[in-house]
Chain A
Amino acid sequence: MLYRVIDRADLPSLVAAFMERYEVVAPVRRGSFYAFEAIGDFSEIALDYPTTIASPKKYFLPATETLFEFDARENAVTDYVDEVRPRVLFGVHACDINGIMNLNSVFNDPRYPDPYYRAHQDATLIVGVSCTPGDTCFCHLMDSEEARPGYDLFLNAIGEAFLVSIGSVTAANILEGACDVREATDADRAAFRAATRARQEAFNGAIPDVQEIPMLMDAFHEDGFWDELGGRCLSCNACASVCPTCYCFDIRDTLDPGAETGRRERVWDACTSPQFAMVAGGHNFRSTAAERVRHRMYHKLNGFLATHDRSLCVGCGRCAAACKVGISPIEVLKFFERKGADDGE
C-alpha cells in the first residue's frame, strides 16, 4: 500500500478536481441527521459525520432501477440505456466500504454476474475517511473496522493532516494533481498509530464481543428469543432500507399510461416483508414475524459467512438506529452474552 500525506486545507481542491470529471456524492447534514447526496461545493460536505440514515448502497443498487423498456403491443424489448453516472463517493466510512465489498461479491458472482450493478461499480471511485465510532457502531466486532481493499483513496485523519492510503492509479493521479502531496514521515506514522488506538478505545463497550457467532446462531435456532423479537417487529423493512449490505430485490413490470409501452424494474425487497417468502400457490415459508426476523439475523450473522467467508453485517449500526422496536444484531449479541453468562453460573 502506498501512503501520502496531505493537509486538511488541501481537501477543497481535491474535491474540486474530482468534480471536473465526476459527480461527487458526500455526507451532508439534513436537520439533525446526515445523508449521502450529490454535492455542488466542498462546503456542503460534513466530513466528520457520525453516520448517515441510509447507506451509500443506493449508488450501486438504486431503490428502483429500470432494467429494460418494452413495447407491450409488439411484446418486444426496446432499446434502453441504463443511466450510469461517473461518480466519486467521498467520505465513506470503513464499515460501508466493507459493505460494498460484500455487495461486490454477491453481484459479481461469476455464476450470475449483474451487469447493472457492475456498470455502477465500474463508474464509481470511493474515497474513504476515518471515523470516530458512535454508540451503535460495532464494525470492530464484524471484522469491518478497517477497509483493506475496496477504496481508491482512504483519508486517515492525523490532526490537521491526512495520511492518505492510495488504492488506485486513477485516484492517485487526481490526488497528485490537486494537492500538495508529501511523503509520510515517522511522525505521521506515529500519529496514525495513536489515532487508530484512540478509535479502538472509543467503541461502545456495552456491545459484547461474542465468539463463535455462527455456531451460537445454530445452537439457539429454536430459542424463544426469536418470538420475543418477532412479537415486536413492525414489519416495516426500515432495517433493510438503511442497511449497507441488504441486497434483495423484486422485479416487476410497470406499464406506461395507455399501456402501449412499459418498463421492467427492480425494486428493493426485504426478508422482513410479510410476502417475501411467499411462493406460487400462496404458501408462505416465513409467515410469522419471528421467522422473518430470525431469518434476517441468520443471513446477517451466519448464512452469508458460509458462502462468502465473512459476515454480511458490517456493524454499521444503522438498523439499530432505524428500528423503532430495538431489533438489531446488537440485541442478538447481547442475547448470546446473556446465554453465556447463564451457562457459566
Chain B
Amino acid sequence: MSENTATVGEARAPRVVLVGLASCFGCQINITNIERHLLAVLGQIELGYWQLTSSEPMPEAFDVAVIEGAVTTEEAAETVRALRERAACVIAIGSCAATGGIPAMAAGDLASHVEAVYGDGLPKACGVLRAPAPVSAVIDVDFTVSCCPIDPFEFVRVLDAALYGSNRLDVTATLCGQCAQGEGGCLYKRGQMCLGLVTRAGCGAKCPGLGRACNGCAGLSPDANVTAARAFAASRGFAPGRFDEALEMFNAVALAPAGEE
C-alpha cells in the first residue's frame, strides 16, 4: 500500500480531484454530511476538481483521484485511464464504482435495456455505451469505500489511509459476525431474506441493525460462500432464484464472470 500513498512529508498539500461517472452523485453529496468536520478534512488537501462544487476544469497534475460511479461508456473508460496515468493513488467510492452497483444491473443485456429506454434512437449525448462495470474492471484501484451510499466517515478514513498510510487490514469476512454483535437477532428468524450471508463486513450491519435486510451494497465478499448461503436461504423458504435476483442489485458483475451459475 505504501507505494500508493500519495504524499508523505511533502510541503505542498496533496492535490485531490473528485470525479463522478454513472451514479446518482449521492456519495459525493454524502461527503458533505461530515458537516462540522468538513473544513478540517478539506484543510488537509488542495481540492483540484469537484464538479459538484465548482466549474473549474480538471487540472493537469494531481496526486489522488477519487472516482464515484460505474464506467458505462467508452468516454468514461478513457477518463478513468487518464486519471490513473496522472494520479499516484485512485480511490473508488460507492457501490457503483466499487462493484458496478445499480448501473451494472444492465450489464448482462445492455442492448435490450438501451432499446427499452431509447428505442432505436440512442442520443449522441449518451456517448459510446459499454456494459457497465466497476472502475476496477478498467484500471487498478488502490482504495475502495464501499456501500450505497458511502459512510462519509469511512471516506475520511480511507482518504487518510491514502494520504498517510494505515495499519488497518482490509478484511473479507462476511456480515453476520458484525450483525451478531448488535444482538438484534437474525432476520431470517423473522421470515426476511437477508444478503448479509455473503456481503463483505465493514458497514457494521447497519441495515439489519435497523430491522431491514442487507441488500449487499458493500459488495460480495471475495471469500463469500454463495453456494452455502443459497442453500441456507433455501432452507428458510427462499428459492435460490430469489436470492440471486436480490444479489444482482449490487453484485451483477461479481456474480456473472465468477461463473456462479
Q: Which residues of A contact B (CB under 8 A)?
A: 30-33, 35, 52-54, 63, 72, 231-242, 250-255, 257-260, 268, 270, 272-275, 278, 289, 322, 324-325
A252-B168 in contact (CB<8A): yes
A235-B185 in contact (CB<8A): no
Given A35-B183, A258-B41, are A275 and B172 also a contact pair (CB < 8 Å)?
A: yes
B225-A233 in contact (CB<8A): yes
A278-B181 in contact (CB<8A): no
B37-A258 in contact (CB<8A): yes
Query: Within residues 156 to 174 of chain B, which ones have a CB less than 8 A from any CB in chain A?
Result: 156-157, 160, 163-164, 166-174
Residues 203-235 of B, flagged 1 when their CB comes within 8 A of A and 0 if not, give 000000000000000000101110011011000
Further pairs besides A231-B225, A252-B166: 13, Cβ < 8 Å? A30-B185, A31-B185, A233-B225, A237-B176, A237-B178, A238-B177, A239-B177, A241-B177, A252-B167, A252-B168, A270-B177, A275-B170, A324-B229
Q: How far apart are the CA atoms of A333 and B128 in the complex, in Å?
A: 61
A235-B223 in contact (CB<8A): yes
Q: Which of B164, B177, B183, B197 contacts A259 (CB 8 A)?
A: B164
Which residue on chain A has the smallest CB distance to residue B160?
Answer: A255
Residues of A within 8 A of B167 (CB): 251-253
Shortest Cβ distance from B258 into chain A, in angstroms? 16
A257-B41 in contact (CB<8A): yes
Interface residues on B, range: 35 or more
Q: Which of A52, A237, A242, A258 contacts B173 (CB 8 A)?
A: A237
Which residue on chain A has the smallest CB distance to residue B36?
Answer: A257
Which residue on chain B has the smallest CB distance to residue A259?
Answer: B160
Which residue on chain A has the smallest CB distance to residue B184?
Answer: A30
B185-A32 in contact (CB<8A): yes
Given A232-B225, A237-B173, are A52 and B183 also a contact pair (CB < 8 Å)?
A: yes
Which residue on chain B has the smallest CB distance to residue A270?
Answer: B177
Shortest Cβ distance from A108 into chain B, in angstroms? 24
Q: How far apart are the CA atoms of A156 and B248 in the complex, in Å?
A: 53
Residues of B within 8 A of A232 (CB): 225, 228, 231
B184-A237 in contact (CB<8A): no
Shortest Cβ distance from B116 into chain A, in angstroms? 36
Shortest Cβ distance from B191 into chain A, in angstroms? 12
Task: Pick 22 A–B contacts, CB within 8 A, sort by A.
Answer: A31-B184, A52-B183, A72-B164, A231-B228, A234-B229, A236-B173, A236-B175, A237-B180, A238-B176, A238-B179, A252-B168, A255-B164, A257-B34, A257-B41, A258-B43, A259-B164, A268-B181, A275-B172, A324-B176, A324-B188, A324-B197, A325-B232
B225-A258 in contact (CB<8A): no
Given A275-B172, A278-B169, A322-B180, are A235 and B189 also a contact pair (CB < 8 Å)?
A: no
Which residue on chain B has the smallest CB distance to residue A54?
Answer: B183
Given A33-B185, A234-B229, are A53 and B172 also a contact pair (CB < 8 Å)?
A: no
Q: How far apart are the CA atoms of A250 and B173 in the complex, in Å?
A: 14
Q: Which of A30, A33, A257, A268 contacts B37 (CB 8 A)?
A: A257
Residues of B within 8 A of A260 (CB): 40
Q: How far apart are the CA atoms of A322 and B172 in the complex, in Å?
A: 19
